[in-house]
Amino acid sequence: MGRKSHDTIRKNHPQKKQEWVRQLFPYWQQHGIKEITMDDVAQKLGKSKATIYKYFQSKEEILHYTVLDKIEEIRQFEGLLTNQQLPYLARYFAAVQHLYTHVANISNVFLADLKHQFPPIWEVISDFQEEAANILKSYYEEGIQQGIFHPINPSIMVLSDQLLFAKLSDPDFLIQHQLHIHDAFQAYFRMKFLGIVKDQRLLEGFGGDF
């Protein structure tokens, strides 16, 4: 059992916390969460456990901070999707490229351990999936209004994205179908974009990106 120090006043140093969780992220991806102890975390960071406990109360808190940091990194796709300085379809391609670039290093073993051992943290991921789907829905609505997309109900369009996000965050599904989250993202959005754009000539120049 790891030490739990509930009465310690912890240091609030976001930059240091971010540096540590980003250093730990590849380690979680390779080894999963289940077997990693705070001793392992301390060894990986080259710090004493006492030093780590000055910033984090537990392994679960480190994981929570890790997931929040990763979500903030992925959330930057919204800025690309709404960038009015880019052509409309280029915004979509840039946003999706960002999405699957930043989910590419998330491993199935990490997702599986997170889902089964830390349900409250998993709920944070589910909430973000809903947020991301709504951002995409606004983009689809704009594309329909501009006559770029087929007039498909945007709620149906975003529902397909929600189903994708749910499946791609399900480690059991990924393992069963021998999929990696990055490759599945790429295949899905290529298939979807080819289906919703009215004039396929608008896609010239983007083929190599998907």
Are residues 87 and 166 located together in one domain of the fold?
Answer: yes
Are residues 151 and 185 located together in one domain of the fold?
Answer: yes
Are residues 53 and 114 located together in one domain of the fold?
Answer: no
Q: Is residue 70 part of a domain?
A: no
Domain CATH code at residue 31: 1.10.10.60
Looking at the predicted structure, is the pLDDT value of residue 1 above 50?
no
Are residues 88 and 134 located together in one domain of the fold?
Answer: yes
Task: Tell me what pLDDT residue 10 has.
Answer: 67
Backbone φ and ψ of 64, nearest 5°:
-60, -45
Under 8 Å between Cβ of 110 and 174: no
The mean predicted confidence, pLDDT, of the chain is 84
Q: Is residue 9 part of a domain?
A: no
Under 8 Å between Cβ of 115 and 193: no
Q: Is residue 69 part of a domain?
A: no
Centre a 10 Å sphere on the Cβ of residue 82 and count the other Cβ atoms it contains: 14
Are residues 60 and 79 located together in one domain of the fold?
Answer: no
Q: Long-range CB contacts (< 8 A, 24+ apart) of 56-60?
A: 56/10, 56/17, 57/4, 57/5, 57/6, 57/8, 57/10, 58/2, 58/4, 59/2, 59/33, 60/118, 60/121
Q: Of 76, 63, 72, which is closest to residue 24 (Cα–Cα)?
A: 63
Are residues 29 and 127 located together in one domain of the fold?
Answer: no
CA quadruple 36, 39, 45, 48: dihedral, nearest 10:
160
Are residues 56 and 114 located together in one domain of the fold?
Answer: no
List the structure tokens of 38: 């705070």
The residue segments making up the domain with residue 26 are 14-64
pTM: 0.76
Highest mean pLDDT among 8-22, 62-76, 88-102: 62-76
pLDDT tens track for 87-110: 988 898 888 888 878 887 888 889
Domain count, the chain: 2
Q: Is residue 138 part of a domain?
A: yes
Domain CATH code at residue 123: 1.10.357
Task: Tell me what pLDDT residue 181 has.
Answer: 72
Are residues 118 and 141 located together in one domain of the fold?
Answer: yes
Looking at the predicted structure, is the pLDDT value of residue 39 above 50?
yes
Secondary structure, 3-state, the chain? CCCCCCCCCCCCCHHHHHHHHHHHHHHHHHHCCCCCCHHHHHHHHCCCHHHHHCCCCCHHHHHHHHHHHHHHHHCCHHHHHCCCCCCHHHHHHHHHHHHHHHHCCCCHHHHHHHHHHCHHHHHHHHHHHHHHHHHHHHHHHHHHHCCCECCCCHHHHHHHHHHHHHHHCCHHHHHHCCCCHHHHHHHHHHHHHHHHECCHHHHCCCHHHC
Q: Is residue 188 part of a domain?
A: yes
pLDDT tens track for 110-157: 988 998 999 999 999 889 988 988 898 999 999 999 998 889 899 998
